Structure 1
């Protein structure tokens, strides 16, 4: 999927073929990058803004990209990291204002608490996995990427994706069975 293509702009003169190269890059990579950005920031609109910033920077700065996949995924990850830094600051401001949580009147408060607690425990367990396995697990189970998409995005084999997922599920199963009382 064009891993070693050179896409970008040399010099000050931007001609029609360079514009077409940029458009081609955008059309090929945008859908995959959007899924990745959504996975990272958990917000569709923010993911869209991050992608817009990445592609605008490429266009404005006439960036020469040798390995487009690696460059674009790193740029999106950096954009997501910046988003998280600023959102943490905003969250602290909201916390200081002591905004009350909206509660669903129909929901059983105890069951809501138990479900929230179970979910938190599962995410804590997933966070204990090695980084690569955790990323693959989130991409597959949470974001809905296929094995093939994950393999293409991370530049690994489909078999490696399967292996990470099997080991991830085994890990979770062991931990949940070990702590059955907490998950009832």
Structure 2
């Protein structure tokens, strides 16, 4: 068993998605002491955007395929995911490796993996007025479903509204992490 820990926030120690993703890792490690954790920080060591030259490098894909559980810290930037996380996704969504096209439509080939996303958003995006602006959770749910994985989400919403709401969102998300290892 191996856990792959992906963080993509540029805000370092001030990052809510990093706080929550680390809490998820801690809970999983408590449940399975000694489990190896591979960490990839996409902010401090960003992947270049996908180019034709980069197609031959399969190291990121191999790392993903070797992991049993993937924990992703995903903040919302401008209503969607950080570009560094998109660059990582571009390397794991690969025809013939994590999905294939069939006569019946696409088929996900990455089944059997557990993906847990620590999602942090500055506002609230569940009401009708704002749901059309939300392209982080919806994108990640769709892309992981496309490759055969039903992702789990731990949400911290409203973190930019004020200090009290930020702490309430962190506390609520950390509470959710306690259920993940069960």
TM superposition score normalised by structure 1: 0.26
Determine which structure has greater relative contact order: mean sequence separation of CA pairs < 8 Å that are 6+ residues apart, divided by chain length.
Answer: 2
Structure with greater strand percent: 2
TM superposition score normalised by structure 2: 0.26
